[in-house]
Amino acid sequence: MRGQHEESKQRRRSEIVRAAVDVFAERGYFAARMREVAERAGVADGTLYLYFKGKEDLLVSILEEYAEAFLLRARRDCESLADPRDKLRRIVERHLVSMQNDRALAHVFQIELRHTRRFLRRVARGKVAEYLNLLQEVVREGRNGGVFRRDVPPELAARAIFGALDEQVTAWVLARRPGELRGQVEPLLKILLAGLAPPADEEVDHG
């Protein structure tokens, strides 16, 4: 019974987080009210405070819940692939396609999460840092295997990759007539992989 109770609580929490995504995307974070989230989730106003301290805590939870799910899948993808270039391809594809499949979430990530410097610092120390670490791991593996150039620091490469993805999604969210983010996967990968490719005269170090 306890397991069922915990499962029910987690399901209710996820329903509230989803409702918050939709309300924040439609109304904007500052204009949105907790009662609107409660109505969208089909719960009493007071129920929200059993799960979240307030609106900012709810916004943080959106980031943590969805980013954690993305990172889990991305890491699982990478574990199933041997070539760092394929790993990068899968991460880029997953990032863009997942945002295309949930425009409300993309709006919250690209717009609503960035209103204050304090919140941005909190975000940067959390899931964004984990994402950058994953990208650094892929770049470092590619350097060690000789398929990525060695004269670009993994930290710099990771930020460049993340920045390119981030800008593509932001432009898509703000566009009046957005195309498909999926269609940007290959052009973006051509740029990234060409930039990471080692010079022709760079020796491959297998040891």
Do residues 149 and 197 lie in contact, with contact meaning Cβ atoms separated by under 8 Å? yes
Please name the amino acid found at residue 177: R
Mean pLDDT of 116-142: 85
What pLDDT does 82 receive? 97
Domain residue spans in the chain? 1-52, 54-196
Q: List the structure tokens of 52.
A: 């979240």
DSSP 97-154: HHHHT-HHHHHHHHTGGGS-HHHHHHHHHTHHHHHHHHHHHHHHHHHHHTSS-SSS-H
**CATH class, 1-52 region:** mainly alpha
pLDDT in tens, 143-189: 999 999 999 999 999 999 999 999 999 999 999 888 899 999 999 99
The architecture that CATH gives domain 54-196 is Orthogonal Bundle (1.10)
Radius of gyration of the chain (CA): 20
- Predicted model pTM: 0.88
3-43 pLDDT, tens digit per residue, is 776 788 889 999 999 999 999 999 999 999 999 999 999 99
